[in-house]
Amino acid sequence: MTDAPSQPIAPGTLAGKVALVTGSSRGIGADTVRYFAQAGADVVINFRNKAPRAEKLAAELRELGVRALVVGADLTDPASVDAMFAAVKDEFGTLDILVLNASGGMESGMAADYSLTLNRDAQVGVLTAAEPLLGDGSRVVFVTSHQAHFIRTTPTMPEYEPVALSKRAGEDALRERIPALAEKGIGFTVVSGDMIEGTITATLLERANPGAIAQRRESAGKLYNVSEFAAEVARAAVDPVPADNTRLVGDVSAFASE
């Protein structure tokens, strides 16, 4: 990790708390869960098919003196999601922070409706399964991109449009849950960022549309890297919930608000 604060959340701030980040064996998810552990939280590392990488991260975080549970789960499989939260309940009994970070849709060989299944249906399914463990004062954070958040008013590159539309559908479906969550004292924040340097999505976009990342970097003036953006995601779990439940990270001048 470079350029981001080494500890964006003050040490000890999350002592006694439990945080789960979906898709946290690498990238933004891994750095986010690392920041939580540095702040004293016990953490749940979720992965789909990279167990050794997740276990390596868990070993690193346990050296900080926190507990780290590694749970593999296919978020598009409700039974797999239920098993993940059963493991969380058995290990910790509760959950204080849920970060919905995992997403996709640009992978090759997937079904035509995979983007919508993962980026909308699975997000809602994970929240539903987690809700019995979330109590008063807990927090849910949904991670998205400006290209998805603003897709209804600002076109994006054709290669990313199906993912953007499905992620916006997921955001909309989750936002419908805000009143019910608020009644239980559960805060909800959407964190939207521009293209992030060094992510799998950026790599796939660059492969499909060479020069896209450099063009966006020039237009925005700066693109956040993985650790910088993860720091913003982590802070969203402890900062007051914005009035519009939205935390915009980076330049948005090229995007039209609704």
For 101-110, 124-133, 181-190, which range has the lowest pLDDT when averaged over its residues? 101-110
Round the average pLDDT of the chain to a whole number and report it: 91
The tens digit of pLDDT for each residue in 231-256 reads: 999 999 999 999 999 999 988 888 98
Tokens of 15: 């002592």
What is the pLDDT confidence band of residue 109, given thresholds at 50, 70 and 90? low
Contact call for residues 22 and 126 (beta carbons, < 8 A): yes
Do residues 44 and 99 touch, judged by C-beta distance below 8 A? Answer: no
Contact 38, 7 (CB under 8 A): yes
Among 5, 11, 53, 9, CA closest to 30: 53
Q: What is the pLDDT of residue 205?
A: 65
Q: What mean pLDDT comes out for the span 149-177?
A: 93
pLDDT exceeds 80 at position 123: yes
d(C-alpha 50, C-alpha 57), whole Å: 11
Report how far residue 66's alpha carbon sits from residue 124's, in angstroms, rounded to the nearest whole number.
29
Q: What pLDDT is stored for residue 195 in this prediction?
A: 78
pLDDT of residue 213: 72
CB–CB of 233/32 below 8 Å? yes
Distance in angstroms between the alpha carbons of the first and the last residue of the chain: 35
Return d(Cα 148, Cα 168) in angstroms, integer.
Answer: 5
What's the CA gap between 45 and 57, in Å, rounded?
8
Which helix (H) or strand (E) element contains residue 206?
A: helix 200-208
Per the CB < 8 A criterion, the answer to whether 70 and 47 are in contact is yes
Q: DSSP string of 107-143?
A: -TT--TTHHHIIIIIHHHHHHHHHGGGEEEEEEEEEE
Enter the tokens of residue 230: 């993860």
Nearest CA to 33 out of 15, 42, 21, 23 is that of 21
- Reported as a pLDDT band with limits 50, 70 and 90, residue 84 is very high
Q: What is the pLDDT of residues 203-241, one digit of tens each?
A: 666 776 787 777 767 776 777 888 999 999 999 999 999
Give me the pLDDT at residue 2, please.
41
Q: pLDDT at position 196, please?
A: 78
Q: Domains of the chain, with CATH numbers? A: 18-249 (3.40.50.720)
Helices (H), ranges, 6-111:
27-38, 51-62, 78-91
What was the pLDDT predicted at 152?
A: 95
Q: What is the pLDDT of residue 250?
A: 87
Q: Check residue 1 and give its pLDDT.
A: 39
Q: Which of 36-40, 49-53, 107-111, 242-246 has the lowest mean pLDDT?
A: 107-111
